[in-house]
Chains A and B, each alone.
Chain A
Amino acid sequence: MLETLQSLAAGFAVALAPDVLLYAFVGCLVGTLVGILPGVGPLGGISLLLPVTYGLDATSAIVLLAGIYYGAMYGGSTTAILMRIPGEAASVMTCVDGYAMTQKGRAGAALAIAAVGSFVAGTLSVVALMLLAPPLAEFALRFGPPENFALMVLGLFVLAYMSSGPMTRSLTMAALGLLLGMVGMDTMTGLFRFEYGLSELGDGIGIVPVAVGLFGISEILISASNSGGTVVRAPRLRELLPHWDEWRASAGPIGRGTVLGFFIGIIPGPGHVISSFVSYSVERRLSKHPERFGQGAIEGVAGPESANNSATSGAFVPMLALGLPSGAVPAIMLAAMMIHGIAPGPLLIQQQPQLFWGVIASMYVGNVVLLLLNLPFVGLFVNILRIPYSYLYPSILAFATIGVYAVNNSVVDVWIMGAAGLLGYVLRKLDFEIAPIILGLVLAPMLELNFRQSLAMSAGSYGIFFTRPITGVMLLAAIALLVLGLRSIFTRRARPGAQ
């Protein structure tokens, strides 16, 4: 424990350095704006701003991106409460009772409880992350190539199982992402694959142009026809104070949302979205007056908002401890770490303590920054919604192009961005989940290397994947998930009248 506190103190020394503090602030600010803007979301925001981090050191880059991630969770609640527009998917449940409170003249209280709940959940979940990640990483040090391979396979299967649609659709997307990750030089033999004479593809298809295209450009393509500005009325500062009974009613939902959100966030999948739905239904079930939900129950704001912030920290556990992204946002952050020459995995905490503890400490700082930003300046932030989208989207397109081009000074990346944008647009229109594509693309080189190293270790015997206990358990769990996922599809088809 003492060692943890010493490490945390060292982390604060990093996080409170003026430049890192500035990036935490900028990340929180941009994240809040990204969260407020309907449709952009943390994923699109991080993808678009990833190239901006190239000139920074790894710690500042991750601090900036993490700030955007949890800043978006804070910001998303603002438009949900004031206008019934979820700034991002995790705020959908906040719309229900948050907007009902606005109609009753309690918008200020809803915003304040959402901000305080997010602050409490964000802070407590960082404590849990700080305590859980190092022992998990230490355990994972026992992992060799077979365990790493099994872990990645399990991660992909859990993500596919947790997805909203049928598992076969998500697995198709994951396989597509993994296949895209096969482009470029084979690391074991030096042979080029699928590069078709383009030297730019020798290093593989870049994660940045694909992420910017799939999430950022596809969002512009879908939203560009909504070009009007919006009229909003933000509450004044003195209207922000909740009543005593509202504070009392929110305490339990904030606590439960924090715990639920953290553990759901650890599981691969859109944890921040799922956690807010689960928290809302738990609060309604526990309430003595469930009929108030939907009519402006403050518990319906406090629980989901706390849960989605807590899930954000939970998502960092497998990413920082195991090098396994639990979703698309952590996958992009992992890519950022790799771009900065940081090898993700269980050795990260030992080899890069300043990065790990600096990021942890910056999360504490970021939560305070967000609380200070979100309450007094809420009126200022919602003004961004007044900018017509017809000016906003060409600007976002230009920023995306600068960012993608700047990675390698290559127009091939701009072409890839456009192609990924078209692919993302079509897939989203057809209700396919695109997150598994990016996860597959990030994991593909590591998956292949660990697969082939495992077989080299066992002199070609596939038994190595089932005779080692950890590997066997993980692969059996992946198979069990596959069976469960397929069974649910066939059960649904067999049921009369099923869609």
Chain B
Amino acid sequence: MRSLTIDQVAGAVFAVFSLLVLWETRKIPFGFLAEPGPGALPTLLAVTLLVCSIAVIAGGRAGKRLAEVEWTEWRHAVAILGACAFMALALEGLGYRLTILVMLLVLAGIVEKKGWIAAIVFAAGFSLGTHYLFNTLLRVPLPHGPFGL
């Protein structure tokens, strides 16, 4: 795996994805080539993606190896993606202010190690300030949590 090039690995992933799409399109009526139905273009596009993926694999034998790619920022990336998942899960249950407060506290206080006082001031100021700006001033409806928070 480590000796494979980026194009070989990425091309293989896209090829598998296109095959999955082709498998899923069997449930959608294809129609006829002369009178395409709702499944026709997805099928044609999945085949196009498959052909392109094979071309990427074929053309990428001499390219950069996957092992040469540096993922130095992966810890930050995992924390940020975790924050995204947390917001998606908590936004409608905890409400905007609490969700953003917790997210910012974790990112500034734990991930960035900014010190708890600075992190609390930043998180509370940002979540309350932006709620006032968007919800009250700009009338963008933001979700509310327990006790109207």
A residues adjacent to B (C-beta < 8 A): 55, 166, 168-169, 171-172, 175-176, 178-179, 182, 186, 188-189, 191, 193-194, 217, 220-225, 227, 390-391, 393-395, 397-399, 401-402, 405-406, 409, 411, 414-415, 417-418, 421-422, 425, 429-432, 447-448, 451-452, 455-456, 459-461, 486, 489, 493, 498-499
CA–CA, A224 to B82, complex, Å? 14
Q: Please determine whether A193 and B81 come into contact, CB atoms closer than 8 angstroms.
A: no
User: A397 CA to B108 CA in the complex, in Å?
Assistant: 12
- B34's nearest neighbour on chain A, judged by CB, is A460
Q: Across the two chains, which residue of chain B brings its CB closest to A459? A: B34
Contact status A409-B73, CB under 8 Å: no
Size category, B interface: 35 or more
Which residues on the B side are within 8 Å of A452 (C-beta)? 36, 40-41
- The answer to whether B149 has its CB under 8 Å from any CB of chain A is no
Q: Are A391 and B122 in contact (CB under 8 A)?
A: yes
Partner of A172, one of B33, B37, B56, B91: B56
* Across-interface contacts of B52 in A (CB, < 8 A): 168, 171-172, 175
Q: Are B59 and A489 in contact (CB under 8 A)?
A: yes
Contacts of B126 in A (CB 8 A): 394-395, 398
Of B6, B14, B72, the residue contacting A176 (CB under 8 A) is: B14
| In contact, B72 and A398 (Cβ under 8 angstroms) | no
Within the assembled complex, what's the spacing in Å between the Cα atoms of A401 and B86?
11
Q: Which of A179, A221, A224, A397 makes the CB contact (< 8 A) with B49?
A: A179
Q: Which of A401, A417, A456 has the most CB of B within 10 A?
A: A401
**A contact face: mostly helix, strand, loop, or mixed:** helix
Known: A390-B112, A401-B87. A178 touches B34 (CB 8 A): no
Q: Which of A193, A217, A395, A429 contacts B84 (CB 8 A)?
A: A217
Inter-chain contact A418/B85, CB cutoff 8 Å: yes
A406/B140 in contact, CB under 8 A: yes
Q: Specify which of B41, B77, B81, B84 is in contact with A182 (CB 8 Å cutoff).
A: B41
Q: Which chain B residue shows the least CB distance to A166?
A: B59
Interface CB pairs A-B, < 8 A, 16? A168-B52, A172-B49, A172-B52, A175-B45, A224-B76, A398-B100, A401-B100, A414-B91, A417-B84, A418-B84, A421-B84, A431-B6, A432-B10, A451-B36, A455-B35, A493-B59
Find out whether the CB atom of A191 lies under 8 angstroms from the CB atom of B81.
no
Most buried by A among B11, B38, B72: B38
A193-B42 contact in complex given A168-B55, A430-B10, C-beta closer than 8 Å:
yes
1/0 per residue B74-103: CB within 8 Å of A? 011100110111011101100010001001
CA distance A224 to B112 in the complex (A): 10
Instruction: Report the minimum CB–CB distance from B102 to chain A (whole Å).
Output: 11
Beyond A217-B80, A411-B92, whether A191 also contacts B73 by CB under 8 A is no
Q: A394-B108, A411-B92 are in contact. Are A191 and B80 (CB under 8 A)?
A: no
Residues of A contacting B11 in the complex (Cβ-Cβ under 8 angstroms) = 172
How far is B28's CA from A15's CA once the two chains are assembled, in angstroms? 48
Find B73's partner among A217, A221, A390, A430 (CB 8 Å cutoff).
A221
Chain B contacts for A393, CB-based, 8 A: 80, 107
Is B59 in contact with A429, judged by CB distance below 8 angstroms? no
What is the CA–CA distance of A169 and B56 in the complex, to the nearest angstrom?
A: 6
A182 CB, nearest partner CB in chain B, Å: 4
Q: How far is the CB of A1 from chain B (nearest CB, A)?
A: 42
Chain A residues lying within 8 Å of B76, measured Cβ to Cβ, are: 221, 224-225
A224 to B14 CA separation, bound complex (whole angstroms): 28
